[in-house]
Chains A and B, each alone.
Chain A
C-alpha cells in the first residue's frame, strides 16, 4: 500500500536484529585477559603526568615523544581510571595519590608502587610537585612557603600519600596576616588544600584561597601577579624561568601503571612498558609470564 511504512518496518526489523546480535555477543566474554590486543591509554600532550611518564620510561628519547599514535588519549585521571576499569585489555598510568582499588597497579621491574619504594629510590617512575613564586613574594607568602617546607608541612605531604622532601626543621610563624592566593595544577591542588588548612590552624589570621586550574595557568598567573604562589606538576619551562619564576619542589609524586583487575599480568619491566607505549608490543600474550 505504501512504501514508506514498509520501509519503516524493515528499518525496525534490522534494528531489532542488531540488538539481538549485541546481546548474543556479550555472552562470550572471557574474564582473564592475558591474551588479546592491548588498549594503550595515555594522557594528553603537554600533561605533567605524561611528560614525566614518557621521560622516565624512555618513551620520550629526549628528541621526540614516541608514544604510539594508536594510543587513546584522555585529559583526566578519572576518565583514565574508568576506561581501564571497564576494559579488560587496557593499560594506563595515574598519580599514585589517586590510585584506588577499582584498578590494579602493576609492579615495575618487580617493584611495587608504594611510598616506601619511591622514597628508597627502587620505584623510579615519579615526578616533582613544584610551587613557584616571583621575586617579590609577600610576607605571608614567604611564611606559608616556610610552613610547607617545615616538619609540620612535610608531615601533611606524607600523610596525603606523596613523598616528603627534606625539611627545614620546626615551623615558626612570622605572624603575617592578610590574603594569599595559591593556584595551578589540579594534581597539586588536593595536597595544597590540606597544607592551607594545617597552616590556618597555626596562623588563624591568614586567609589562603587555593584555586584549581592547571600547571601552565598556575605559572602564567603567578608571573602576571594574579596568584601569589603557583602550583605545577611538571618542571618549569625555560620561558617561565626567564620570566622570573623560582621553583621550589614541595613533594614527589609516584606514577602508578594501571591495568584492569581481570588482567592476570602483575609485573612489567620498564622496557616492556616502553615497548607497549611505543607500539612495539601490541598483544598481552607477548608480556604475560
Chain B
C-alpha cells in the first residue's frame, strides 16, 4: 500500500516536472541559438534598427516589435469590451434558453483552427476594408479585428467563470442596499471578479501576440512601421514564419533571435500578470 502510494506520487511529480523541463529546454535552446546572432548584428542595431532586408544584410526588427504591439493593442480594443460584456451577459442577463446556445458557440469559437480564421479574414474582412476605404485591405485594422475575434473565447470563458464564482451574497447585499440589477452587476459583481477578468484579458493578450498563421494572411506583412490603421504591418511571429523556410546562415539565426525577443515579451506579460496578482492578494 505504502509502496503504491509512493510510486504514484512519483508518477504525479514526473508529470508536473514535464512541463517545467519543456519550458527550460525551449528557453535554453532558443537563447543558445539566438543570442550569438544578436551579438553579431549588435543588440542596438538589432532591436532598434528600422530596416529589415536580409538579402542586404540589414537586420533591424524595430518595425516588427512595434507591429506586434499595434496589432495586439488593436485586438484588445476590439476584443476586450465585447468579451467582458458577453461574459457579463452570460453570467447575469442571459435567459437559460439563450445560454444553451451562446455557451457552446463561444466554446466552438475557441476550437476553430487559426488558419481557418485567417482564411475568413482573407475572404471576408480584407475585401470589406478594401471596399469601405478604397485601399488595400491587408492592414493593421484587418489584423486587429480578426485577432479581436480570436481572443474572444479566452476572455469570455475566463471572465464568465470568475463572475460565476462571485458569491451570491455580494449581489444580494447590493440589491438590499437599494441598487438596481444592472448597478449591482457592474459595480459589485464585476468589481469582485476583477482579477479573474484581468487574467482572461492577459491570456487573450498572450494569444494575440503569439498568433501567427491568421495574422500573416491578413496583415500585408510589410516590414515597416505602419503610418496608420490602413497600412500593412508585420508582427514578430509573422517575420519568423514568413522567412524561416528559405533562410540560411545569419538570416536564420536572426529569425531565431526574433523568437528570443518574442519570448522575452511573453515573459514580461506573464511576470506583470503575476505581479499584479500578488499585489491584489496583499491588498
Contact = CB atoms under 8 A, between A and B. Distances in A.
A17 interface: no
B169 interface: no
Contacts of A169: none
A70 B232 contact: yes
A214 B246 contact: yes
Interface string A70-91: 1111110001001100110110
Given A75-B241, A82-B122, A89 B136 contact: yes
A83 B232 CA distance: 13
A46 B216 contact: no
B130 A73 contact: no
Given A70-B224, A73-B234, A86-B126, A64 B53 contact: yes
B140 interface: no
Interface in A36-56: 36-37, 39, 44-48
Interface in A1-57: 1-2, 4-5, 8, 11, 21-22, 25-26, 29, 36-37, 39, 44-48
A193 interface: no
A74 B81 CA distance: 31
B128 A4 contact: no
Contacts of A133: none
Contact of B122 (A26, A64, A79): A79
Interface string B211-251: 00000110011111000000110100000011101111101
A69 B132 contact: no
B249 A239 contact: yes
A212 to B, nearest CB: 11
B81 to A, nearest CB: 7
B81 A11 contact: yes
Interface residues of A, number: 47
Interface stretch (B14-22, B100-108, B179-187, B195-203): B179-187
A266 interface: no
A4 B185 CA distance: 11
Interface string B247-277: 1110110000000000000000000000000
B182 A25 contact: no
B222 A71 contact: yes
A214 to B, nearest CB: 4
A29 B134 CA distance: 9
A217 B126 CA distance: 32
Interface string A225-244: 00000000010010110000
B220 A72 contact: yes
B242 A75 contact: yes
B54 to A, nearest CB: 5
Given A45-B53, A64-B56, A87-B137, A22 B122 contact: no
A52 to B, nearest CB: 12
Contacts of B241: 75
A47 B81 contact: no
Contacts of B216: 74-75, 79
A87 B130 contact: yes
B222 A86 contact: no
Nearest to A4: B186
Contacts of B49: none
A70 B122 contact: no
A70 B138 CA distance: 12
Given A1-B180, A65-B55, A73-B220, A46 B251 contact: yes
A37 B134 CA distance: 9
B85 interface: yes
A72 B123 contact: no
B123 A83 contact: no
Contacts of B81: 11
B186 to A, nearest CB: 5
B131 interface: yes
A65 B51 CA distance: 13
Contacts of A283: none
A93 to B, nearest CB: 16
B223 A21 contact: no
Contacts of A8: 85
B122 A46 contact: no
Contacts of B55: 45-46, 60, 64-65
A237 to B, nearest CB: 6
A215 interface: yes
B127 interface: yes
B245 A216 contact: yes
A71 to B, nearest CB: 6
Given A73-B220, A73-B234, A74-B216, A214 B248 contact: no
A26 B131 CA distance: 5
Select the residue from B55, B56, B128, B180 with max chain A CB neighbours within 10 A. B55
13 contacts: A2-B182, A2-B186, A8-B85, A25-B132, A26-B128, A29-B131, A45-B251, A69-B224, A70-B224, A72-B138, A73-B222, A75-B243, A237-B248
Query: Which 6 A-B residue pairings sit nearest by Cβ, starting from the closest?
Result: A46-B246, A214-B245, A73-B221, A26-B131, A39-B136, A44-B242
Given A44-B221, A69-B223, A73-B234, 8 more contacts: A8-B85, A44-B245, A46-B248, A60-B55, A72-B138, A87-B137, A220-B248, A240-B248
